[in-house]
Structure 1
Amino acid sequence: MAGALEGIKVLDLSRFIAGPFCAMQLADLGADVVKVERAGKGEETRQNLPQLNGESLYFMTFNRNKRSLTLDFRSPRDQETLRKLIAKADVLIENFRPGTMEKMGCGWDTLRELNPRLVMVRISGFGQTGPLAQRPCFDAIAQAMSGLMSITGQQDGPPMMAGTFMVDYASGLYATIGTLAALNVRSQTGRGQLVESTLLESAISMLISAIPAQAQLGEAMERCGNVDRYTAPVNSYPSADGAFVYLSAGTDALFPRLVEAMDQPGLLADERFCTAHARLSNAVAISDIVAAWVLRHDAAEVVAAMDRAGVPCAKVATMDEVVTNPQLLARGQIVDIDHPVAGRYSTHGVTVSLSDTPGEIRRAPPLLGEHTEEVLRGWGVA
């Protein structure tokens, strides 16, 4: 069968991560996604390192399954071409600073008159309205402002950002969810709508219980390193061979299994550890005991013992281990793509699995302007 979004036309005017990632999700699911880039230069991230044969791996990560069309956004003629494309589109994705689309004559009020069926997706740092709407924002800024940074890192260390652009990814996923919801409504009403996703709002959606705990109880969530906030023992532990193992055995169902695997039955009778609440109150003590046991074994031995016991556990993988992970390879999550310039390279697969209309990687990331004439003819704009 065709992809789940076969027949949906998407114009991707976005840059960096959140917007392109949203557009790529739609493309993976079968939509015809056209990446609209600046003539001559293209998206800024085409220059990012690292590069493979002069092609940015950063850019390629977020732009597979798309076709590239170039326009001069400052040219009245090309602005008119853009509006003609928009008139044919089902979805438009942009993440310019608020007001930029309006300056090009492509604000929402204009576009919904031009194409009442259009779903316009606007991704920004703070939204199209509010006192911070015009302030520039990147992932780390949203992590800082949202409080995510303040609850990340070791308890006695400074605030830390996450090791990846988690807010950009979350914003892209929220934008994807909103797009699919708007398309579903359109299938019933015939009318599109405006979808907004912001970095700051996406970030605060990931604060667990920090907001009500602060607002209602006056309790500030603090940094806690790799331990779990609500159960113990849960932590990363060094093993005898110099690796780290992450182990999660904090619940009352899992803790006895850990005790049996460590062959330390006396822990179950210890009042400090006999219930989940007791263990949390004595988290350092129980963690020290587990750490001493893990340190006497190689990482593979610890993981094997926990697997036999049914306790969630994993070696903290290095990237060379990730790209050869047999589980990921078996499920098509590490795949190879042939690029006309970069050559063959490995990347992540299609993440969402659909039984009847699975997504697929049909196209390598496009060269700049590679499909301009093809798109203009195919969309009936030339």
Structure 2
Amino acid sequence: MAGSLEGLKVLDLSRFIAGPMCGMLLGDMGADVVKVERAGKGEDGRVIAPKVGGESLYVMMYNRNKRSLTLDYRSPEGQELLRNLAAEADVLIENFRPGTLEKMGCGWEELSARNPRLVMVRISGFGQNGLFAERPCFDVIAQAMSGLMEITGEDGGKPVPSGAFIIDQVTGLYATVGALGALQARERTGRGQVVDTALLDSAVTLLLTAIPEYALFGVEATRKGARDRYSAPANNYLCRDGRWVHVNAGNDALFPRWCKAAGLADLITDERFSSHAARMANADAIEAIVADWAAQHDADAIVDMMVRAEVPSGKVATIAEVVANPQLKHREQIVDIDYPGIGKVPMHGVTVKLSGTANSIRRPAPSIGQHTSEVLTDWLG
């Protein structure tokens, strides 16, 4: 099956994660994505270890389904080539510091004048305007400034960032949604537009109810470790075999199921735990009971019990267990991609499944400038 975006031309000037992820997702849906890199050095992420066959795994993760073209951003000839490529593109993705493309004569005004149908996806730390627009930013800076780091970590402990660059990835998703929305609008109007996404903006969307809780009640969200903020019992529990398992039996339908499965049916009528509100008021007490119960069983046994009782649960998996997960294999979420001269490299598969227009992985991440001549022929003749 043809991809849903087959025939769409995407110029990806971005580097690191957020922009490349947006380009990758469009590529997975069938778009012809050309990664534009600096001559000689390529994108900044190519120096990041670990490497396989001299290529960065970091770059491999977010640049499949792309072709690579190199040019000299500083030269007038390179800048004119970029304008010519943009004139043929449907979407341009960039995550330079705001104002950088304008200094090269490749800003929105210049490019849209040549190509009124162009959709320009602009990804930055703080947005294209405002007091902080020109500040440098990385994922962890957005986690810190958004308050997300403040509410992450153990109760009473220090603030910690997520174990993955989730703000980069969420921003990449928002950028993709924006690009698709702008393309749909173009179908009606015939004109493209700018999609403006920012790391800080994206991070704030992950704060759950923290903002209205503070604005309405003056309550500041704090760190709670693995404990759920809105229900109890719901937490990570240490098991007899030294493994951790997460059990969420916090709502009024799940709690009685857990009680019966755990052999503690008398807790169902205990006034301290007989309703959601009561359990939240006595969260420490019910969490202590569940922790004591978990300590008497192995993690796998608890998961089996919870599956039979239809209570959401899962063992806190090691990466080795994730790679071997049969559900992920069935869903083709961990796949091997062949790299010439390197061999098979496993990575995440296609996440979004479309029934009528198949997303697919058609090519591995390119080497620096691998397709320069090919792209210039295909796009510019």
- Calculate the TM-score normalised by the size of structure 2: 0.99
Measure the CA separation in 1 of the matches of 2:132 and 2:71. 30
Letter of the 1:5 counterpart: L
Distance in 1 between residues matched to 2:285 and 2:131, nearest whole Å: 48
Over aligned residue pairs, what C-alpha RMSD do you find?
0.7
- Which residue number corresponds to residue 189 of structure 1? 189
CA shift, 1:24, in A, is 0.4
Which structure 2 residues correspond to residues 47-196 of structure 1 after superposition, within 5 A? 47-196=47-196
Give me the whole-angstrom Cα distance separating, in 2, the residues matched to 1:341 and 1:154: 45
1:177-214 Cα distance to aligned partner (Å, 9 max, x none): 00000000111111000001000000001111111111
Task: Give the corresponding residue for 1:357.
Answer: 357
Tell me, what secondary structure is at the counterpart of 1:92? strand
1:376 aligned counterpart, secondary structure: helix
Contact kept? 1:335, 1:349, Cα under 8 Å: yes
Deviations along 1:306-363, one digit per CA (max 9) or x if unpaired, are 0000000000000000011000000110100001133211000000010010100000
Instruction: Show the counterpart of 1:272.
Output: 272
AA partner of residue 10 (structure 1):
V
Distance in 2, matches of 1:380 and 1:103, equals 24
Unaligned stretches of 5+ in structure 2? Answer: none
Task: Give, as a single letter, the amino acid of the residue that structure 1 aligns with 2:288.
Answer: D
For these two proteins, the number of residue pairs brought into alignment is 381
Quick check: 1:226 aligned with 2:226?
A: yes
Question: How many angstroms does 1:269 deviate by?
Answer: 1.7
CA–CA separation in structure 2 for the residues paired with 1:192 and 1:378: 22
SS in 1 for 2:380: coil
Contact 1:55 1:342 in 2 (8 A): no
CA contact (8 A) 1:231 1:251 kept: yes
Q: Tell me by how many angstroms 1:53 deviates.
A: 2.1
Q: Secondary structure of 2:171's match?
A: helix
Look up the SS of the partner of 2:150 in the other structure: helix
Q: Look up the SS of the partner of 1:151 in the other structure.
A: coil
How far apart, in 2, do the equivalents of 1:330 and 1:34 lie?
Answer: 31
Amino acid of the structure 1 residue aligned with 2:72? D
Deviation digits for residues 64-87 of structure 1 (CA, Å, limit 9, x no counterpart): 000000000001111111110000
Match of 2:33 in 1: 33
SS in 1 for 2:46: helix
**1:169 match: secondary structure:** helix
AA in 1 matched with 2:137:
C
The equivalent of 1:20 in structure 2 is 20
Partners of 1:300 and 1:161 in 2: how far apart?
Answer: 29
- 1:155-194 per-residue CA deviation (whole Å, 9 max, x = no partner) reads 1101110111111011100000000000001111110000
Match of 2:263 in 1: 263
CA distance in 1, matches of 2:196, 2:154: 34
> Deviation at 1:12?
0.2
Equivalent in the alignment of 2:206:
206
What amino acid sits opposite 1:253 in the alignment? A
Q: What is the match of residue 282 of structure 1? A: 282
Contact 1:54 1:342 in 2 (8 A): no
Opposite residue 349 of structure 2, the aligned amino acid is: G
Question: Contact conserved, 1:231 with 1:276, CA < 8 A, in 2?
Answer: yes
Q: Which residue of 2 aligns with 1:236?
A: 236
| Structure 1 CA distance for aligned equivalents of residues 19 and 341 of structure 2 | 24
Q: After superposition, what is the alpha-carbon deviation per residue over 1:254-274, rounded to whole angstroms, capped at 9, x for unaligned?
A: 000000000111111211111
**CA–CA distance in structure 2, aligned partners of residues 205 and 342 of structure 1:** 40
1:9: how far off?
Answer: 0.2
Q: Distance in 1 between matches of 2:341 and 2:295?
A: 47
Partners of 1:143 and 1:380 in 2: CA distance: 41
- Aligned letter for 2:190? G
Structure 2 counterpart of 1:328 = 328
Question: TM-score, normalised on structure 1?
Answer: 0.99
Instruction: Decide which moves more: 241-250 or 50-59.
Output: 50-59
- Alpha-carbon distance between aligned partners in 2 of 1:53 and 1:236, rounded to the nearest angstrom: 39
Q: Alignment identity in percent?
A: 61
Mapped partners of 2:76, 2:341: distance in 1: 33
Matched, 1:248 2:235: no
Secondary structure (helix, strand or coil) at the match of 1:149 reads coil
**Aligned equivalents of 1:122 and 1:279: distance in 2?**
46
In 2, Cα distance between equivalents of 1:341 and 1:71: 25
Q: Comparing 156-165 with 44-53, which one deviates more in the overlay?
A: 44-53
CA displacement at 1:93 relative to structure 2: 0.2
Taking the aligned partners of 1:341 and 1:219, their CA distance within structure 2 comes to 57
Residues 241-295 of structure 1, C-alpha deviations (whole Å, 9 max, x = no match): 1110000000000000000000111111211111111111111111111111111
Which amino acid is the alignment partner of residue 127 of structure 1? G
Q: Which runs of 4+ in 1 moved over 6 A?
A: none
Q: Deviations over 1:104-134 (max 9, x none)?
A: 1011111110100000000000011101011
